[in-house]
Structure 1
Amino acid sequence: MFRRNSTEPETTPTHDKVGGKGRPTPSRKEAEAAARARAKVPRTRKEQAAAQRGARGDTSRRMREAMKTGDDRYLPARDRGPVRRFIRDFVDARFSFIELMVPLLIVSMILGYNGSTVQLGNTLLFTTLLVIIVDIVMLRFRLRRELARRFPGETPKGATLYAAMRSLQMKFLRLPKPQVKIGEKLPETYR
């Protein structure tokens, strides 16, 4: 048999788990204490109010994150579902004249204050409003056609109002945040 020299240090291979949790497993005592702390029911009104405030804060934080990322689980009920997601993407992927509305309204206000250009300012204002109305009507017809093609069994109740309200907002102010760019091709399935 081969005898190892006592002066040589023993080397044992260490295996670090790739993608591990990054912390040691808690002992049974620690895990039970944490479970008891989570299960502890608030006894006073003050403790109950604090627990409710914490739960509301957590829920609102999740909703804010969902509004940024488009996560369907935590969105408000009015924004949930594949049909609403398609409507949001449909509105966000098209250029609308409504995005030019605020600058044009500012120009018409400036022209309206000057005595000699009041007529020009009013003409610009009414032309802007007319173009926006035509844009919303065209949006309605195109959206209805796409909804009938992509979601044949669904009723488009409330779809026009939802799309119009979203299109009336400036793109950077829309919530949930736009997930597509202008002109981007939309996926065929949203289920």
Structure 2
Amino acid sequence: MKLLRRGGSDDSADHQVPATEDSPAATPDDSASAKATTGKGRPTPKRRDAENRRRGPVAPAPLTTKEARERRKAARKSQSKEERKAAAAQRRADASERRNRMLAGEEKYLLPRDRGPVRAYVRDIVDSRRNLVGLFMPLALVLIMSMFLGPVVQQYVTLAMFVMMFLMIIEGIYLGRMVNKKARERFPDSTAGGFGLGWYAFVRASQIKKLRAPLPRVGPGDAV
């Protein structure tokens, strides 16, 4: 039912419903508060503030080795004995897995000097040959043992060592040139080559085959 105001105007905007016990009258402050809050009744926090409250402050990275070591010590003190043993066992297992994958030749786990298809190809060339340079370490052991023998034996062993060293140098030069030539033929667009690649082949050839890392993928006489 509409009520007539003085002057005969009928303005519904000025109409107010009297308050009752079930529906109390709304005040201007209540209307402003209702407009300011929506849904959950509080302003939505910024994403940055929410993440900071959830994650907490992040410690800066250590600047020195000493600082990193102190942080590890502090972390170990906060752990129980069983937790430290479990963490140490996990580290050993991870290190063993990384080493096994490196020996298997997985590119992700190789050292920087061994990465790339060119280096893998050079390793296969060296492993498929019987190299005179591979006698370097056994001969060095023989030379050390000869120091406990008589002077005559030492003279003959030293002379033999000089001859073998001369032959190894010649073979090393030949091996370096050969691997560079084959690498350029197999990978014409690669920039790897020169003295560094030849030295890489020489060092691998001078190692005992069972101690080479990554492990050989081919045997002596196999085609590459």
TM-score above 0.5, yes or no: yes
Q: How many residue pairs are counted as aligned between the two chains?
A: 146
**1:177 counterpart = 2:215:** yes
Alignment of 1:17-32 (within 5 A): none
Check 1:88–1:115 CA distance in 2 against 1; reply closer, same or farther (3 A cut).
Answer: same
Q: Among 74, 97, 100, which residue is 1:62 paired with?
A: 97
Check 1:46–1:109 CA distance in 2 against 1; reply closer, same or farther (3 A cut).
Answer: closer
Q: Normalising by the residue count of structure 2, what TM-score does the alignment of the two structures yield?
A: 0.55
Larger radius of gyration: 2
Counterpart in 2 of 1:163? Answer: 201
Per the TM alignment, residue 139 of structure 1 is displaced from its structure 2 partner at its CA by 0.4
Per the TM alignment, residue 106 of structure 1 is displaced from its structure 2 partner at its CA by 4.3
Counterpart in 2 of 1:130? Answer: 166
Moved more, 156-165 or 129-138: 156-165
Per the TM alignment, residue 125 of structure 1 is displaced from its structure 2 partner at its CA by 0.9
Q: Among 72, 75, 88, which residue is 1:46 paired with?
A: 75
Contact 1:93-1:182 within 8 A present in 2 as well: yes
CA distance in 2, matches of 1:73, 1:67: 8
Contact 2:137-2:207 within 8 A present in 1 as well: no
Contact 2:135-2:206 within 8 A present in 1 as well: no
Counterpart in 2 of 1:148? Answer: 184
Uncovered stretches (5+) of structure 2, i.e. residues with no partner: 1-54, 60-70
Q: Normalising by the residue count of structure 1, what TM-score does the alignment of the two structures yield?
A: 0.63
Consecutive aligned runs of 4 or more in structure 1 exceeding 6 Å deviation? 47-55
Check 1:150–1:137 CA distance in 2 against 1; reply closer, same or farther (3 A cut).
Answer: same
Structure with greater contact order relative to length (CA < 8 Å, sep ≥ 6): 1
- Give per-residue Cα distances to partners, 1:113-161, cap 9 Å, x unaligned: 3233343222101011111111110101101110110010112243122
Check 1:107–1:171 CA distance in 2 against 1; reply closer, same or farther (3 A cut).
Answer: same
